[in-house]
């Protein structure tokens, strides 16, 4: 059988070989325990305890994950990683099998390689998340939709609807494909004149615009229902629509797991869906956030669309390369020319989960948002892969038949050229395991530990719920503490612990009632008044007065097997963990400096800096230490480096479209650094350099101390400048005692003349 052949042959055997081959590739790079990736810890805890995860709660994944408790290999997190790898390899094998029947072995191999080595897909196929199962579901629905189209939507129609409903129990956002898949599944039925064009306008323009303008998903639901009624009309319409509704609801019944399990009080009971209104809120994400991430609400609708397109383009280049994208272009052109109605269904799927989704997501182009949105590219990637398969299949039939084998070779070579296998190697990834261990090591018996970010918080949940470690410690989620359902959950679990909103100091003081020690992870955000009084305790911060501070021994017991630095981390979430280690070392260094233990302080500051080079706080503190010792040349050198790093942070903030408050905070820090640098230059007898540094500081953020220093620099040379700068210093800070003192002296001298 030739490489481009299709039709009868040992199809199942070849597909099995593809499945095993891809699975072995994934297994070789599989993390040995819980991976530092998004909601992995929460999903593991929910699966182990049959809990209710964050909306939409993913009941199908939780139930399948629960079954992995009985798999006798590795720890539970590894078993869930293995489940993701099996689902990922299954998706590749299913795509290969279907593509081989349609377009031949060459096209199928290319499609399988594009999916298997897609960086985003490889990532989700090695962590305890529901995304690889989501893509397996998507490929399965796509195959069934095509089969239903070819039999006129008769035999497979009820099964298609049931499968769609059931698989929505894994991830509800598969509904983005609903209009296109329904059109595709029923495209074999006759259409009225002009129907294709009307539906294209509605699906590709009118309803996406309605969703964007209304901020509601209702128009998309109307489009899906309208598509069903439009394509199912004719004799037996009521029967077909009724069968679709009944089968779909039967599949969706998996969501009834949520209220039933919630009523029993599980370890995780997000939003307590045992209450009907909460159940509906969870399905619709009305309280959790209808957007992909709540940060998008800080920007106007569509404001960041071009930035998101740029990130998407970088992903497509990484996943497909020039030849893969060219093959997809050939395939979509061929599909448009040969079967426009079927092409329209695929195009609608791609359009809704690609450009429309990115427009609505509206996330800033920073590494955190990019990591959040990356797996959501995969639904549109599937459609591009289908078109690439068609493109390679079409090229197999042209006179230059060597193009198809060349594309197959390219599809396997491109990921290695881009370094994808090396970037996805997590065989020795213990970053999160060590982070969790060190956090729990620092928590005193019976203490309260507040965490905020997902990876950090969920890893602690996993440690308690799955591994049974440190059950005496109360893990409180800062972001959830203001939610009534979360407060009620804590009242049920521990009536003595008062969990309230943690935005204000009162909420933190309530946690400390009765002398309970309250600590926080480095990512948590205590109110400023409490943060200023917090003390270092290993990887944590001791917030309450009753919490013991660092005695130094904790640092000898901490473990960090991952020797990578912040910039070398394979993904944002791992780098964020490393930032926690750097922040803890920096805090300890500052405390030691204040205690007069300068050599030890320098050691901790150097440790923080070695982990995260773009950390201008470290040279700023080192410069301060040199200034205290009157080593002005060394102080100037440290502050000069801090100036460079602050400038880099500001460039990144602009590139990442950071919010104005964050930019203002960085500019203020940069202004303080430039001011300290100016003091060093002034002490070294370089007034022109000092003046330029002070002016730069004012350009960054007007500070009273900068104005005062300018007045000192002009003293005895330009009394008008002295008066102006002292006046401006008092305007910026009416409590600046020195500025007030010297301004009064200056004006008294003027009055006595």
**CA–CA gap between residue 284 and residue 300 (Å, rounded):** 22
Half-sphere exposure of 382 (CA within 13 A, CB side): 30
Answer whether residue 232 shows pLDDT above 90: no
pLDDT one-digit tens code per residue, 238-255: 777 788 889 999 999 999
Answer whether residue 519 shows pLDDT above 70: yes
pLDDT at 167: 95
Strand order in the sheet with 518-521: 474-477, 448-451, 518-521, 540-542, 535-537
**Residue at token pair 């400390």:** 512
CA 69 to centroid of chain Cα atoms: 27
Find the mean pLDDT for residues 25-47. Answer: 97
CA 73 to centroid of chain Cα atoms: 29
Please tell me what DSSP assigns to residue 204. Answer: I
**CA–CA gap between residue 680 and residue 216 (Å, rounded):** 57
Using DSSP, how many helices (H) and how many strands (E) does the chain show? 37, 5
End-to-end Cα distance, the chain: 108
Among 583, 503, 518, 505, CA closest to 548: 518
According to DSSP, the residues that pair with 376 across neighbouring strands are none
Find the mean pLDDT for residues 336-346. Answer: 93
Between the alpha carbon of residue 573 and those of residues 358, 372, 454, 584, the distances in Å are: 21, 10, 9, 17
Q: Identify the helix (H) or strand (E) that includes residue 650.
A: helix 632-655
Contact 457, 446 (CB under 8 A): no
Q: Is the torsion defined by CA of 140, 143, 149, 151 positive or negative?
A: negative
Contact 490, 457 (CB under 8 A): no
- Confidence label for 228 from pLDDT (cuts 50, 70 and 90): confident
- Confidence label for 504 from pLDDT (cuts 50, 70 and 90): very high
Please tell me what DSSP assigns to residue 173. Answer: G
pLDDT at 535: 95
Coil, strand, or helix at residue 477?
Answer: strand
Contact 174, 134 (CB under 8 A): yes
**CA–CA gap between residue 472 and residue 457 (Å, rounded):** 16
pLDDT at 331: 96
Answer whether residue 41 shows pLDDT above 60: yes
Answer whether residue 9 shows pLDDT above 70: no
**CA–CA gap between residue 110 and residue 108 (Å, rounded):** 5
CA 469 to centroid of chain Cα atoms: 27
Answer whether residue 386 shows pLDDT above 80: yes
pLDDT over 70, % of the chain: 96
Coil, strand, or helix at residue 181?
Answer: helix
pLDDT at 297: 79
Coil, strand, or helix at residue 535?
Answer: strand
Tokens at 719, concatenated = 């009394």
Answer whether residue 375 shows pLDDT above 90: yes
Contact 187, 342 (CB under 8 A): yes
Tokens at 362, concatenated = 């509206």
More confident residue, 289 or 180: 180
Answer whether residue 286 shows pLDDT above 90: no
According to DSSP, the residues that pair with 519 across neighbouring strands are 449, 542
pLDDT at 429: 93
Please tell me what DSSP assigns to residue 52. Answer: B
Mean pLDDT, the chain, whole residue set: 92
**CA–CA gap between residue 393 and residue 108 (Å, rounded):** 8
Exposed e or buried b per residue across 147-165, where buried means at least 16 C-beta atoms within 10 angstroms of its C-beta: bbbeeebeebbbebbbbbb
Tokens at 228, concatenated = 């069903």
Find the mean pLDDT for residues 442-463. Answer: 97
Contact 700, 678 (CB under 8 A): no
String of DSSP letters for 380-403: HHHHHHHHHHHHHHHHTTSS-TTH
What phi-psi label fits residue 16: left (phi over 0), alpha (psi between -120 and 50 degrees) or beta?
Answer: alpha
Which of 65-74, 144-153, 631-640 shows the lowest per-residue confidence on average (mean pLDDT)?
Answer: 144-153
**CA–CA gap between residue 35 and residue 25 (Å, rounded):** 18
Give the angle 181-183-189 at the CA atoms, nearest 5°: 130
Find the mean pLDDT for residues 721-725. Answer: 94
Coil, strand, or helix at residue 474?
Answer: strand
Residues in the chain: 753
Tokens at 477, concatenated = 């989620």
Coil, strand, or helix at residue 537?
Answer: strand
Answer whether residue 2 shows pLDDT above 50: no
Among 71, 240, 62, 60, CA closest to 137: 60
pLDDT one-digit tens code per residue, 524-576: 999 999 999 999 999 999 999 999 988 778 999 999 998 888 888 889 999 99
Contact 705, 682 (CB under 8 A): no
pLDDT at 483: 93
pLDDT at 287: 66
**Residue at token pair 């962590």:** 127
pLDDT at 1: 38
Among 697, 700, 701, CA closest to 713: 697
pLDDT at 8: 47
Q: Is the pTM higher than 0.75?
A: yes
Instruction: For the chain, state the CA radius of gyration.
Output: 30
Q: Identify the helix (H) or strand (E) that includes residue 357.
A: helix 357-361
Find the mean pLDDT for residues 86-107. Answer: 96
């Amino acid at each position: 059988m030739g490489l481009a052949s299709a039709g009868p042959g040992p199809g199942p055997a070849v597909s099995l070989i593809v499945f095993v081959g891809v699975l072995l590739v994934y297994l070789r790079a599989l993390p040995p325990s819980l991976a530092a990736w998004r909601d992995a810890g929460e999903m593991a805890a929910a699966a182990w305890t049959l809990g209710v995860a964050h909306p939409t709660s993913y009941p199908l994944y939780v139930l399948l994950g629960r079954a992995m408790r009985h798999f006798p290999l590795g720890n539970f997190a590894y078993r869930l990683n293995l489940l993701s790898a099996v689902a990922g390899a299954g998706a590749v094998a299913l795509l290969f099998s279907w593509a081989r029947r349609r377009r031949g072995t060459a096209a199928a191999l290319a499609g399988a390689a594009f999916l298997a080595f897609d960086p985003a897909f490889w990532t989700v196929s090695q962590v305890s998340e529901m995304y690889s199962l989501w893509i397996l579901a998507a490929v399965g629905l796509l195959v069934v939709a095509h089969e239903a189209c070819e039999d006129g939507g008769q035999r497979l129609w009820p099964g298609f609807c049931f499968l769609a409903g059931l698989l929505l129990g894994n991830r509800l956002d598969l509904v983005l494909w609903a209009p296109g898949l329904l059109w595709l599944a029923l495209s074999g039925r006759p259409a009225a004149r002009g129907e294709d064009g009307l539906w294209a306008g509605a699906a590709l323009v009118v309803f996406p615009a309605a969703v964007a303008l209304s901020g509601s998903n209702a128009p998309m639901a109307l489009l899906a229902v309208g598509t069903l009624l439009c394509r199912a009309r004719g004799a037996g319409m009521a029967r077909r629509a009724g069968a679709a509704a009944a089968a779909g609801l039967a599949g969706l019944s998996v969501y009834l797991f949520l209220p039933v399990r919630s009523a029993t009080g599980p370890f995780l009971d997000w939003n307590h869906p045992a209450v009907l209104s909460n159940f509906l809120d969870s399905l619709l994400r009305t309280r959790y956030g209808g957007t992909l991430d709540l940060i998008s609400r800080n920007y106007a609708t569509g404001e960041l669309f071009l930035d998101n397109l740029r990130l998407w383009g970088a992903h497509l280049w990484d996943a497909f390369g020039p030849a893969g994208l060219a093959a997809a272009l050939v395939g979509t052109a061929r599909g448009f020319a040969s079967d426009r109605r079927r092409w329209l269904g695929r195009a609608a799927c791609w359009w809704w989960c690609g450009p429309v989704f990115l427009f609505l997501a509206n996330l800033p182009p920073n590494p955190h948002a990019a990591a959040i949105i990356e797996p959501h590219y995969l639904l549109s990637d599937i459609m591009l892969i289908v078109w690439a398969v068609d493109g390679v299949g079409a090229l197999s039939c042209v006179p230059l038949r060597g193009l198809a084998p060349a594309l197959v070779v390219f599809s396997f070579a491109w990921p290695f050229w881009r370094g994808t296998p090396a970037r996805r190697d997590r065989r020795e990834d213990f970053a999160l395991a060590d982070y969790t261990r060190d956090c729990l090591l620092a928590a005193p018996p019976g203490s309260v530990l507040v965490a905020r970010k997902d990876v950090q918080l969920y890893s602690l949940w996993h440690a308690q719920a799955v591994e049974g470690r440190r059950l005496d410690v109360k893990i409180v989620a800062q972001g959830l503490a203001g939610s009534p359902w979360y407060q009620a959950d804590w009242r049920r679990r521990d009536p003595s612990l008062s969990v309230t909103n943690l935005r204000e100091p009162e909420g933190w003081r309530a946690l400390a009632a009765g002398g309970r020690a309250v600590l926080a992870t480095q990512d948590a955000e205590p109110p400023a008044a409490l943060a200023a009084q917090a003390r270092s305790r290993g990887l944590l911060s001791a917030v309450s007065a009753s919490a013991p501070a660092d005695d130094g021994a904790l640092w000898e017991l901490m473990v960090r097997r991952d020797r990578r630095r912040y910039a070398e981390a394979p993904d944002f979430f791992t780098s964020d963990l490393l930032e926690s280690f750097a922040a803890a070392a920096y805090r300890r260094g500052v405390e030691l400096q204040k205690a007069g233990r300068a050599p030890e302080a320098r050691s901790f500051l150097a440790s923080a800096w070695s982990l995260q080079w773009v950390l201008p706080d470290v040279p700023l503190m080192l410069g301060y230490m040199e200034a205290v010792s009157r080593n002005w040349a060394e102080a100037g050198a440290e502050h000069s480096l801090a100036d460079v790093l602050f400038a880099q942070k500001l460039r990144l903030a602009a590139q990442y479209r950071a919010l104005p408050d964050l930019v203002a905070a960085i500019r203020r820090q940069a202004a303080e650094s430039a001011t300290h640098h100016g003091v060093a230059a002034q002490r070294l007898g370089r007034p022109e350099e000092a003046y330029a540094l002070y002016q730069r500081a004012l350009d960054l953020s007007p500070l009273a101390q900068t104005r005062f220093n300018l007045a000192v620099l002009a003293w005895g040379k330009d009394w008008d400048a002295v008066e102006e700068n002292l006046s401006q210093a008092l305007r910026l800070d009416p409590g600046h005692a020195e500025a007030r003192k010297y301004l009064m002296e200056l004006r008294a001298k003027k009055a006595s003349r």
